[in-house]
C-alpha cells in the first residue's frame, strides 16, 4: 500500500494481521507450575526482606513465594491481593526492575533477582482464572461513598471500602472502567482484555456500582457529591497533556502519545491503525517508550525517541530503554525540539542539542533535523479542570499522608494527587490507604 501525498506517509495496514498478532503478543509468557516452583526455590525468604520495603503496597513477598513453593498458589494470591487488589495488573506493568527486584538480595549477590513479578502474576492469575474472590463484605454500615475515577486508585479505594461494608458508587468520564490500566498501557503488556477482566473480578466483592460517562465539572460537582454522599474520594488521573510550546506543533500528524496508546488499546483491528514511515517520539518516560515500541511493532520503518536530558535522568527504567532499543527504536539524548517543519503536515523536526549547565538545562548552539511524518508528544501530563475549592500543590491536588485534601470529607489519590510516583502500584496504595482513613473517620 502506498502512502498518499495527503497522508504524508502515515497509513494503516503496514503489516498483515498475522504479523501484528505476533508482534503484539504477551511480552512475558506466564510461568507454568513447574517454572513457578523453580523460580520460587531461588528466594532466600529473607527476614526483614528489602523487597517488601521496596514495594509501594508492602506485599509480603517472601510469604507469598513460600506459599507457591508449598503448593498453595491460591493462598499466595490472597497474600498479594490483601495488600494490592490490582496485583494481577501490577505484576504485568509494575517496574519491578527498579522496585522489589532491584532490592532483591539475589540481585545484589548475583545480578539476577528472584522473578517476583512473574511469580506474582502466576499466583494472581491462577486465583482469578478459577473465579476465586477471597474477600467477603463486612455487615453493611449504611454509609455511602462517591469515588470519582475508575482507575487504579479509585478501584482500590472502592474495593477496600466495600469490603468494610460501605456502599460505593464509582463515577468515570470514559466509556469503560479501568483508567490508565485500560487506556494508557502498551497493549503487549496486558493482552486478552485483562484490564476489564480484572475490573469484573474486583466487583465480585459486591456493594460497588459504576456510572460511566460522568465527568466531574461537566456532569458532577464536588458540592453535589459532598451533599449526597458521606465521603468523596478523587482518583481523577491526569487528563491533560503538556504541549511542546514549539513552533509548528499544530501541524497534521503531530499528536499526543497517550491518545495513540488509547486508540491501540481500544481497536479490534490493529491493521486499521495509521502509523508513519518515520516516527519521532518526544519524551523520556514510560509513555514515550510504549508509544515508540508500538509504532515500531505496527510497521514504522524508523522510530526515534528524543529526550532533552541524559540517560540517567529518564523516568523510563533502563529495562524499558533496552526493550525499546531491542525493538529497533533509536534513542537520542540531550536534544530538545526547536521547530516542527512541514507544509500542512509534519515533514521533519529541528532539534537543539542541550546540556546540563550551572543554571539548569541549556542549549549548546548546535542543531540537527530528523525526517518525520508522524510525531508523538510524551512530555508529561497535567490535571485539567481541577475541582474548585481544593488546595493545590503545583498542578496537583494537595493531600496529607492519609490522602485528605483541604476540604473536610474529601480525599484524593493516584496521579491527580501530589507527592507520589505516577505508577499503577503507587495509585493502588494511595487508594487503599485513603479508604482505611475514610472508614476510620466514618465509623468514629
| pLDDT tens per residue, range 372-412 | 999 999 998 888 878 889 999 998 999 999 999 999 999 99
Q: What is the mean pLDDT of residues 306-315?
A: 94
Same domain, 254 and 370: yes
Residue 223 domain-assigned (yes or no): yes
* 257 shares a domain with 234: no
Question: pLDDT tens for residues 29-62?
Answer: 899 999 999 999 999 999 999 999 999 999 999 9
pLDDT at 101: 96
Domain shared by 337 and 215, yes or no: no
H/E segment holding residue 259: helix 257-266
Please check whether residue 297 is in contact with residue 188, taking contact to mean a CB–CB distance below 8 angstroms. Answer: yes
Q: What is the DSSP letter of 3?
A: P
In terms of Cα–Cα distance, which of 298, 280, 346 is closest to 11?
Answer: 298
Q: Within a domain: residue 7? A: no
User: Are 233 and 150 contained in the same domain?
Assistant: yes
In a domain, 104, yes or no: yes
- Structural domain total, the chain: 3
Q: List Cβ<8 Å contacts ≥24 apart for 16-24.
A: 16/271, 17/269, 17/270, 17/271, 20/270, 20/271, 20/297, 20/298, 21/270, 23/188, 23/297, 23/298, 24/187, 24/188, 24/191, 24/270, 24/294, 24/297
* Bigger pLDDT: 6 vs 249: 249
pLDDT at 106: 95
Domain boundary among 101, 129, 157: 129
Q: Are residues 201 and 259 in the same domain?
A: no
| Residue in 372, 312, 388 with CA at minimum distance from that of residue 340 | 372
For the segment 261-290, what is each residue's pLDDT rounded down to a tens digit? 999 999 999 999 999 999 999 999 999 999
Residue 2 has pLDDT above 70, yes or no: no
d(CA 444, CA 40): 43
Picking from 77, 103, 129, the residue at the C-terminal end of a domain is 129
pLDDT at 117: 97
Instruction: With respect to residue 18, please indicate whether it lies within any of the assigned structural domains.
Output: no
Average pLDDT over residues 326-330: 97
246 and 373: one domain? yes
Phi-psi region of 364 (alpha: psi -120 to 50; beta: other; left: phi over 0): alpha
CA distance 318 to 312: 9
- pLDDT category at 5 given cuts 50, 70, 90 is very low
Higher pLDDT, 208 or 381: 208
- Within a domain: residue 2? no
CATH number, residue 47: 1.10.1060.10
Nearest to 222 by CA among 385, 383, 434, 387: 387
Instruction: Judge if 248 and 366 occupy the same domain.
Output: yes
DSSP codes of every residue in 166-201: -EEEEEESSSSS-THHHHSS-GGGS-TTHHHHHHHH
Residue 6 has pLDDT above 70, yes or no: no
Do 363 and 409 have their domain in common? Answer: no
Residue 97's CB is within 10 A of a number of other CB atoms, namely 16
Q: pLDDT band at residue 8, thresholds of 50, 70 and 90?
A: low
- CA-based nearest residue to 438, from 231, 147, 236, 235: 231
Q: Which residues have C-beta within 8 Å of that of residue 420, sequence separation ≥ 6?
A: 413, 414, 426, 427, 429, 430
Q: What is the pLDDT of residue 33?
A: 96
Enumerate helices (H) and strands (E) in the chain, giving the number of each: 17, 19
Q: Is the pLDDT of residue 225 over 80?
A: yes
In a domain, 97, yes or no: yes
Mean pLDDT of all residues belonging to the chain: 94
pLDDT digits (tens, 9 = 90+) for 148-186: 999 999 999 999 999 999 999 999 999 999 999 999 999
Distance CA 153, CA 258 (A): 19
Domain that holds residue 276: 242-377
Residue 1 has pLDDT above 70, yes or no: no
The pLDDT, as a whole number, for residue 3 is 39
Q: Give the HSE-up count for residue 46: Cα atoms under 13 Å, Cβ half-sphere.
A: 14
Say whether both 280 and 406 belong to one domain. no
Q: Which three cell numbers stand for residue 344?
A: 500542512
Q: What CATH code is carried by the domain that includes residue 222?
A: 3.50.50.60
Checking if the pLDDT of 248 tops 50, the result is yes
In whole angstroms, what is the distance from residue 243 CA to residue 254 CA?
11
- Asked if residue 304 has pLDDT above 50, the reply is yes
Instruction: Tell me the backbone φ, ψ of residue 356, rounded to 5 degrees.
Output: -85, 110
Per-residue model confidence as pLDDT tens digits over 78-102: 999 999 999 999 999 999 999 999 9
Residue 349 covered by a domain: yes
Of the three residues 129, 155, 189, the one that is the final residue of a domain is 129
Three cell numbers written together for 416? 491527580
In this structure, is residue 182 part of a structural domain? Answer: yes
Query: CA dist 417 to 169, 223, 406, Å?
Result: 20, 19, 12
Query: Do residues 368 and 388 share a domain?
Result: no
Claim to verify: residue 230 and residue 312 sit in the same structural domain: no
Does residue 317 sit in the same domain as residue 354?
yes
Cα distance between residue 303 and residue 284, in whole Å: 14
Average pLDDT over residues 193-206: 96
End-to-end Cα separation, the chain, in angstroms: 67
Amino acid at each position: 500500500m502506498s502512502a498518499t501525498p495527503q497522508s504524508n506517509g502515515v497509513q494503516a495496514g503496514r503489516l498483515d494481521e498475522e504479523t501484528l498478532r505476533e508482534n503484539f503478543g504477551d511480552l512475558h509468557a506466564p510461568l507454568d507450575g513447574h517454572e513457578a516452583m523453580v523460580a520460587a526455590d531461588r528466594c532466600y525468604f529473607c527476614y526483614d526482606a528489602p523487597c517488601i520495603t521496596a514495594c509501594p503496597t508492602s506485599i509480603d513477598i517472601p510469604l507469598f513465594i513460600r506459599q507457591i513453593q508449598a503448593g498453595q498458589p491460591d493462598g499466595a494470591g490472597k497474600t498479594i491481593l490483601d495488600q494490592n487488589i490490582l496485583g494481577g495488573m501490577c505484576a504485568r506493568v509494575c517496574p519491578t526492575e527498579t522496585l522489589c527486584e532491584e532490592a532483591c538480595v539475589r540481585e545484589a549477590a548475583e545480578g539476577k533477582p528472584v522473578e517476583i513479578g512473574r511469580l506474582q502474576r502466576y499466583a494472581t492469575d491462577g486465583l482469578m482464572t478459577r473465579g476465586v474472590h477471597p474477600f467477603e463484605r463486612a455487615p453493611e454500615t449504611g454509609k455511602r461513598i462517591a469515588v470519582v475515577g475508575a482507575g487504579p486508585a479509585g478501584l482500590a479505594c472502592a474495593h477496600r471500602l466495600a469490603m468494610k461494608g460501605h456502599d460505593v458508587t464509582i463515577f468515570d468520564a470514559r466509556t469503560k472502567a479501568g483508567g490508565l490500566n485500560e487506556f494508557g498501557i502498551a497493549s503487549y503488556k496486558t493482552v486478552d482484555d485483562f484490564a476489564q477482566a480484572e475490573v469484573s473480578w474486583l466487583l465480585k466483592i459486591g456493594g460497588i456500582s459504576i456510572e460511566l460517562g460522568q465527568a466531574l465539572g461537566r456532569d458532577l460537582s464536588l458540592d453535589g457529591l459532598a451533599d449526597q454522599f458521606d465521603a468523596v474520594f478523587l482518583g481523577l488521573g491526569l487528563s491533560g497533556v503538556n504541549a511542546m510550546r514549539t513552533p509548528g506543533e499544530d501541524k497534521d500528524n503531530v499528536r499526543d502519545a497517550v491518545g495513540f496508546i488509547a486508540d491501540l488499546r481500544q481497536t479490534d483491528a490493529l491493521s486499521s491503525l495509521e502509523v508513519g514511515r518515520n516516527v519521532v517520539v518526544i519524551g523520556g518516560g514510560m509513555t514515550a517508550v510504549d508509544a515508540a515500541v508500538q509504532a515500531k511493532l505496527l510497521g514504522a520503518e524508523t522510530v526515534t525517541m528524543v529526550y532533552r536530558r541524559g540517560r540517567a535522568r529518564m523516568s523510563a527504567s533502563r529495562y524499558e530503554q533496552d526493550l525499546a532499543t531491542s525493538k529497533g527504536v533509536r534513542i537520542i539524548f540531550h536534544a530538545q525540539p526547536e521547530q516542527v517543519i512541514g507544509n500542512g503536515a509534519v515533514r521533519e523536526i529541528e532539534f537543539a542539542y542541550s546540556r546540563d549547565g550551572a543554571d539548569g538545562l541549556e542549549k549548546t548552539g548546535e542543531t540537527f533535523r530528523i525526517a518525520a511524518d508522524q510525531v508523538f508528544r510524551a512530555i508529561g501530563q497535567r490535571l485539567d479542570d481541577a475541582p474548585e475549592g481544593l488546595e493545590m500543590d503545583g498542578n496537583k491536588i494537595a493531600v496529607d499522608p492519609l490522602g485528605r485534601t483541604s476540604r473536610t470529607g474529601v480525599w484524593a489519590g493516584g496521579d491527580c494527587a501530589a507527592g507520589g510516583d505516577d505508577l499503577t502500584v503507587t495509585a493502588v496504595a494511595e487508594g487503599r490507604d485513603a479508604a482505611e482513613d475514610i472508614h476510620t473517620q466514618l465509623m468514629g
